[in-house]
Structure 1
């Protein structure tokens, strides 16, 4: 069954004739997978890039190594940088970057616990929104909640775009 926020978001993408692409770290392609299951996805979905390892963020998306070292791969700064880097690789109206900690083993701290996710949306080369969220649950649940929350955030912005 299609999530209501995802459905609303993709309807707005179709209505406004906008295209979207994703740079995914922690979500490991789940964003693209979920958006691709919507009818007529080929009209708005350009594709995505999974950059789970920091070297892919640096080598392909041109995220400065110093940025990753200073802020960690799971940070708002790196999330914005991967969205911006994606905009140089895939031509689309909207570029979304996602990083975070759906499971132990990253840069978690008491201030940035497991479940912390970062989302950044670039619309026509300008930041449309950036958000840090914390979800509880198993990794799959955290990732799915991130996908649907991103769809909700984007839909709320798209409804006001001309």
Structure 2
């Protein structure tokens, strides 16, 4: 069952006649899955590309090996490139890309510990991004990230974006 904030976000997107698409790494399709559980979501959802593996980021979404080498697959820079590339592949009013570290085994460091999430997107032509840290179990890191995305989008809609 999607959270109240995801339900509200989906309804607000529908009320504003806006569509949304996702590029998901760490969330592995969970973002669109949560939005897809909401009745009448078909007029809002465009699609999602799950790019968990580096090869998908590179081969489908055009992230260069040099960028991944320099910044790591879980970084603000790579997340921005995912969002830019997604805009070319899926026509939607709202674009959301997410990478991060929900569990050990990625590119975690002292400056970027497990629980660090990177979100980048476009609201029509306006870019936006934020970094989030969630100190919790992997599933909760992902669910709280989804809620943070929905909350951000709701604030943008309320502000007349």
TM-score by length of 1: 0.95
Return the offset for 1:54. 1.0
What is the distance in 1 between the residues matched to 2:60 and 2:93?
A: 20
Secondary structure, in 3 states, of the residue corresponding to 2:48? Answer: strand
Query: Per-residue CA shift, 1:73-131, capped at 9, x if unaligned?
Result: 1111111110111111111111100000000000000110000001112122330x211
What is the distance in 1 between the residues matched to 2:34 and 2:14?
A: 16
Return the offset for 1:4. 2.1
Structure 1 residue runs of 4 or more that deviate by more than 3 Å after TM superposition: none
Residue correspondences, number: 161
- List alignment gaps of at least 5 residues for structure 2: none
Secondary structure, in 3 states, of the residue corresponding to 2:22? Answer: strand
Return the offset for 1:149. 0.9
The corresponding residue for 1:149 is 148
The corresponding residue for 2:57 is 57
Secondary structure, in 3 states, of the residue corresponding to 2:120? Answer: strand
- List alignment gaps of at least 5 residues for structure 1: none
TM-score by length of 2: 0.96
Q: CA RMSD in A?
A: 1.1
**Matched ranges for 1:1-162 at <5 A:** 1-127=1-127, 129-161=128-160
Query: Per-residue CA shift, 1:15-64, capped at 9, x if unaligned?
Result: 11000000000000000000101111101001100000111111101112
Secondary structure, in 3 states, of the residue corresponding to 1:146? Answer: helix
What is the distance in 2 between the residues matched to 1:126 and 1:68?
A: 25
What is the distance in 1 between the residues matched to 2:22 and 2:158?
A: 20
The 1:60–1:69 alpha-carbon spacing in structure 2 relative to 1, beyond 3 Å, is same
